[in-house]
A and B are shown apart, each in its own frame.
Chain A
Amino acid sequence: MATVSVNAPKARRLTLKRRRQLAGVVFALPAIALVIGFIGIPIGQDVYYSFTQWDGQTATWVGVSTWTQAFHNPNLWTALRNNALLLLSVPFALGLPLCIAVLLHQRVAGWRIFRTIYFLPTAISWVVLGLVAERFFAFQGTLNSIIHALGFSHFSTNLLGYQSEALLALGITFIFTMIGTNTMLFLTGLATLDPSLEEAARIDGAGRWRIFRNITLPHLSRFIQLAFVMTVIALFSALFSLIFVMTGGGPGYATTTVEYLIYQTGFNQGDFGTAALYGLILFVITGVVGIVQLRLIGSSE
């Protein structure tokens, strides 16, 4: 696609390509350096420290004993299980906003205001959302008050008080927080959908559901993938603040995820060697999830 004439000497074309490549390297270098320096190197150090007993200041080499102990630690497996269970909330964190976006897309009166309202909770810090949620789910909290008022006292809950249920409360709160961003994302996607396509299908006699499945969804696939990426990132990083404020990892270890376990092991117990190992494990998990996502995105390009 060069605008140089075909008869130009080869040397010139090479220089152009080289110039482009050089520019590419120079442009990308700061970002690469920043990421390597502040993310890559610490990960590498995690590997080193996972073979040591480290209290934050002095590290003594102990070989694989940290590894063997860690994998025998039941709390690690509980944390992994909790992370896996929380991943189950992702379909809901995508599906619910999708429904809402489709409904909003029908352009009811005041839909723009609704759109802004739905996004506003995103602005609230996770710490505060956790506090609000904690009061909502508490035994003497709002949820039970509503249940009582509706006359269903028999079904009153104590979600945060039971090991088997606390994770559910956490998941619900997480889904709530993702509704804003994802709804906005999907709504944007729907807005780019050419209405004449829908019309043509309708005239052809296709039902609403078929239109949705064969026209709307494929068009939204890119947006769904982006939302998926952002939701999973939030699941592994921002959720920490929620846990910190809502449950402190409890009751017991019922809501302790691997990120929280890292914090606990490192800062509460001063065992930074094991924490580094957990950090490594977390990195591998998120790396795998990330690669899977990219495959999904890349495959549809």
Chain B
Amino acid sequence: MTTASTPPKEPEDPRPSMGPVQRPRKLGRWMLFVVMMIVAVIMLYPFWVMIYTSLKSEAQFLAGSGFSWISWSSLTSVIPIGQEVLSSTIVCAASILLILIVGLPAGFAFSKLRFRLSTGIFLVMVSAMMVPLQAILMTEYVNVSRLHLTGGYTAAVLVYAALGTPFSVFLFSTYFRGVPDELIEAGIVDGLGYVGVLWRLVVPIALPAIATVTVLQFIQIWDDLLVGLFFIQNTSDRPITVGLAVLAAGRTTSIPELMAGSIISALPAMLVYVGFQRYLVKGLTMGIDR
């Protein structure tokens, strides 16, 4: 709350001598609240549109008014939504796992285990952060199909992991820079070996950073369309974003159904955020503040 800058002697006296400090502050806080509410309304607008639109039938939607649950109930017969959500989950989980497995040691290495050329390599890797998929889409696809990886989820997981690794390495190394060297030295002296140091000492304190990476990558991978569209050839392995794209690209698109599907698709990401929220704040803070 506010720091005590008013004399504590007359806290409830609304006399003019106190006025200039207390009343504008109260008025200010009310105005602030109103502004926050306005912003909240704006930010919630897409949800409002999604919910409002999904609670109509197609005919009602075109007519502009009406209320119906039918779009929700018909959704499952239009796309195999349960299966697709499952696919998305598997792909996300596997990709994030791979990113963590690969990124944690690397982040540790670049921040604490300096070796020759490590700074240079780090710079190159981090600049790879910016490479958008489109720049390498076709060549990537050709490579992956020559390796016969396009069957199930393999190709997509590898591509997602590769795309997410630079940023994660960047975050992890920034975070680990704050870990005291003495801790590591002590671990070595105790005979842990670097693997032990990493696993037993560093990773536990890295949980906030792990949470940050997990949340950010989850949202990015869950919402991605292109990789899921091209690299998962098996239609029964399709993720939810592709399923929605199939719905959206139609002349007989039922917008209410599309919105219902979108809400379902948005839920997991929201849940992940709310669940990891506490760690997220810590992760970003400690990582950068050092």
* Chain A residues within CB distance 8 Å of chain B: 1-3, 16, 19-28, 30-32, 34-35, 37-43, 45-46, 49, 56, 100, 103-104, 106-111, 114, 116-129, 131-132, 135-136, 142, 176, 179-180, 184-185, 188-189, 191-192, 195, 199, 202, 222-223, 226, 229, 232-233, 236-238, 240-241, 244-245, 259-260, 262-263, 266, 272, 275-276, 279-280, 282-283, 286-287, 289-291, 294
Check if A31 sits within 8 Å of B36, measured CB to CB: no
- Min CB distance B94 to A, Å, is 14
Check if B130 sits within 8 Å of A116, measured CB to CB: no
- Min CB distance B239 to A, Å, is 11
Check if A262 sits within 8 Å of B135, measured CB to CB: yes
Q: How far is the CA of A136 from the CA of B45 in the complex (A)?
A: 10
Check if A30 sits within 8 Å of B102, measured CB to CB: yes
From A266, which residue of chain B is reached at the shortest CB distance? B138
Instruction: Determine chain B's interface SS by DSSP, over half rule.
Output: helix
Instruction: Determine chain A's interface SS by DSSP, over half rule.
Output: helix
Known interface pairs A41-B143, A118-B43. Does A27 touch B108 (Cβ–Cβ under 8 Å)? yes
Q: How far is the CA of A27 from the CA of B173 in the complex (A)?
A: 12
Given contacts A27-B198, A30-B105, A114-B36, 14 further A-B contacts (CB under 8 A): A22-B115, A23-B195, A24-B113, A27-B108, A39-B128, A103-B35, A116-B277, A121-B44, A121-B47, A128-B265, A129-B46, A131-B258, A287-B131, A290-B130
Interface bits B170-190 vs A (CB < 8 Å: 1, else 0)? 000000000001100110110
Residue B78 is within 8 A (CB to CB) of chain A in the complex: no
Check if B185 sits within 8 Å of A240, measured CB to CB: no
Check if A286 sits within 8 Å of B131, measured CB to CB: yes
Residue B17 is within 8 A (CB to CB) of chain A in the complex: no
Check if A276 sits within 8 Å of B123, measured CB to CB: no
Residue B57 is within 8 A (CB to CB) of chain A in the complex: no
Q: How far is the CA of A126 from the CA of B186 in the complex (A)?
A: 47
* Interface residues on chain B, number (Cβ under 8 Å): 96
Q: How many A-B residue pairs have CB under 8 A?
A: 277
Chain B residues with CB below 8 A from A232, complex form? 130
**B106 CB contact (under 8 Å) in A30, A42, A185:** A30
**B130 CB contact (under 8 Å) in A16, A100, A236:** A236
